[in-house]
A and B are shown apart, each in its own frame.
Chain A
Amino acid sequence: MGVVHGDLMTLNIGPQHPSTHGVLRLRVKTDGEIISEVEPVIGYLHRCFEKHCENVTYEQVIPYTDRCDYIAAMNNNFGYAVAVEELMDLHVPDRVEHIRVIVSELNRLASHLLALGTFGLDVGAFTPFLYMFRDRERILDLFEVLCGARLLYNYIWVGGLSHDFPKGFEEKIIDFLDYFEPQLDEYNGILTYNKIFIERTADVGVLPAEVAISYGVTGPNLRGSGVKWDLRKDDTYSIYEQFDFNIPVGTGTVGTVGDCWDRYYVRMLEMTESIKIIRQAVKALPSGDVHQALPKKIRPPKGSVYKRTESPRGDLGYYIESDGSPVPYRLKMRSPAFTALSVMGEIASGWMMSDVLAILGSLDIVLGEIDR
């Protein structure tokens, strides 16, 4: 008795496809409805970010970082500013640190809302998507009040911020949090514990912890596999050590540790933690001048730095080499979504066609950051 093998069919998902969250192509080899091989083809959004950086000054790089991860631009600004400040040995005032934490945690909320909403959409849940986008919109409105931009902020500068909080902004944030916190229960009711959603995501696309580490997967995807690792606690930067918050990890509540549902649920729990951090930071917000430490000219001394920060997608690293001029000699961005997508080929094979999109959605990728 031999084993019968049918011919493999090659199928392209994307580059123009609603479930690929951007211009991504998945070259899929299928055996009937079973996927035997997935190969992500990327680069459709490549804009030579790193080459651009070698031609503009340190200040001018910041708007480019916005455009890499356009879902969480604050966090990208933040990571870059922290890296250059470490290179320059620059300290920023306490108020600036607090505001940075507040806005990047707000942006984390917005980013997770988009991730969870579109993930629901990928597996067929349309309504939660609308609910989450409604609330994400409120955060974007807050940012619009803050700096005039809804998505690409250019707000966190090296040594400071572009604007201070407008008058009464703290109350606006607290109002939003008071409104938003009960909404999380609603999401849990409408999506998290929805039977169809659990059927589609539990036990699907299991990512074991060792595989995740070997593939450099970080952030909520790694924590979904049960690894308690968060740069805000483990390699702390800015003033995160002053705040009290937990690191949620996947526990396999409805399936196996590291399945799509766990990755989803870790993000859900992280939103609660972000709210906690924002409340503490707003409460402790000191007064001061946010422009006080802005350097007139950014000319880091010769040397290099590799600095990682925790973006909503994981370890966002900047490798910067300075030759003492106002232009970076070399700037490399280590993108968390890039590493997350690379694991796709490993965990998606063997599943059904419909599961591939669920797995892709659970990884929460942003193509702007992958292709740079």
Chain B
Amino acid sequence: MSDEQAKLIQEAVAKALAGDMDMINNIEDRVTRSKAKAALVKAKREAKKSSATESEKPTSAPPVKPSAGDEKLSFIDEVVAKALAGDMDAINNIEDRITRSKAKAALVKAKREAKKAAVTSEETPQVESIPAEKSLNQKVAEAIEKKFPSSLTGDDVDGHIQLKGDDWFNIAHYLKDNPDFLFDSLQCITGFDLGLENDLEVRYNLHSMTHNHAIEIRIQTDRKNPKIPSVEQVWRIGDWFERETYDMYGIIFEGHRNMTRILLPDDWEGWPLLKDYEAQETYHGIVVPKVKEGWE
């Protein structure tokens, strides 16, 4: 590209960004014109990106029809504010279906952001004038810390609670029976490989049918000798979930009454979901197919 051409393009793009499209459209050379247009698109995209990161506005006004859009948007903001204050009728009574659904989406977003903000504000409690209500995770973590000192690992209880394995059976009992929590349902046990040099982890998703709340508990265990107390007798579904985790990761759940493989045959070798797993060559004379290199 010649200097002249580059200069022309630059100028045209700048003008177009300022709203004057004529200069770009009047470029005679077709190649230069299309190059200029491409540059314009790029410039616009970058501008959009930077504005999106800068401003925390939930919606930016559409550029095409500013007046009608603005009105609608401010209306939506209004009803969302009302709904957040507890008045859902304002949203439900909107007649136009599209506006209504937009308002609902905005409400969900606003709620989520409020939640996020609440979480972040809890991390720095001095700044907030009104003490934010403790999240469920914090309450649970405090209760565990009080009853079973030094079983928490790490202070960060945002999203999940990290525990030491030693007292897990008693903690599980406590969480199930404590009237404040009543985690009567074990939703899911997920085995986890944190990487070749790292430990294994087991993640428990607990849920309470009474209070309708849920937490996630994570327990790490040594990769070489993975052992975690079994909660099979706390939640009966733990029986099969733990057997599955044992089957896939080789994590032994101490106290489980029937620690055998469940999905794979009893005489299978190795733990398939470990990241460094290599399948055995043959199984009873049957060749075990290998995962192809670079298969994606």
Contact = CB atoms under 8 A, between A and B. Distances in A.
Contacts of A51: 272-273
A50 interface: yes
A213 B263 contact: no
Interface stretch (B10-18, B122-130, B163-171, B184-192): B184-192
Contacts of A216: 185-187, 235-237, 241
Interface stretch (B21-29, B97-105, B140-148): B97-105
A234 B264 CA distance: 35
Contacts of B203: 304, 319
A334 B191 CA distance: 12
Interface string A316-338: 01010100000100101010001
Interface string B64-103: 0000000000000000000000000000000001100100
B54 interface: no
A91 B105 contact: yes
A226 B10 CA distance: 71
B264 A214 contact: no
Interface string B36-48: 0000000000000
Nearest to B263: A43
Interface in B177-204: 184-188, 190-193, 203
Contact of B205 (A54, A213, A319): A319
Contacts, number: 85
B273 A213 contact: no
Contact of B272 (A48, A229, A330): A48
B216 A306 contact: yes
B187 A308 contact: yes
A37 interface: no
Given A306-B216, A334-B188, A286 B97 contact: yes
A161 B190 CA distance: 29
Given A56-B296, A216-B186, A327-B296, A43 B236 contact: no
Q: Which of B212, B261, B264, B296 has the most CB of A within 10 A?
A: B296
B223 to A, nearest CB: 16
B184 A214 contact: yes
Given A213-B209, A214-B235, A346-B236, A55 B187 contact: no
Contacts of B185: 213-214, 216
A330 B193 CA distance: 8
B237 A317 contact: no
Contact of A317 (B105, B187, B239, B264): B187
Given A235-B212, A286-B97, A342-B240, A321 B235 contact: no
Nearest to A339: B237
B108 to A, nearest CB: 8
Contacts of A91: 105
Interface in B245-296: 248, 261-265, 272-273, 291, 295-296
A94 interface: yes
Nearest to B235: A214
A173 interface: no
A42 B291 contact: no
A42 B263 contact: yes
Contacts of B209: 213, 227, 229
B240 A339 contact: yes
A84 to B, nearest CB: 16
A215 B186 CA distance: 8
B187 A334 contact: yes
Given A50-B273, A94-B101, A327-B296, A371 B263 contact: yes
Contacts of B193: 330
A11 interface: no
Contacts of B101: 94, 286
Interface in B96-123: 97-98, 101, 105
A284 interface: yes
Given A56-B296, A284-B97, A315 B237 contact: no
Nearest to B237: A216
Nearest to A222: B209
Contacts of B184: 213-214
Contact of B188 (A54, A229, A306, A346): A306
A138 interface: no
Interface in B196-242: 203, 205, 209, 212, 216, 235-237, 239-241
Nearest to A326: B296
Interface in A334-372: 334, 338-339, 342-343, 346, 371-372
A46 interface: yes
A332 B97 contact: no
A317 B241 CA distance: 13
A251 interface: no
Interface in A37-55: 42-43, 46, 48, 50-51, 54-55
Q: Which 10 A-B pairs have the closest CB atoms?
A: A216-B237, A43-B263, A334-B188, A332-B190, A342-B240, A214-B236, A46-B263, A319-B190, A94-B101, A215-B236
12 contacts: A43-B262, A43-B263, A43-B264, A55-B296, A211-B236, A214-B184, A234-B212, A315-B187, A317-B187, A321-B192, A342-B237, A342-B240
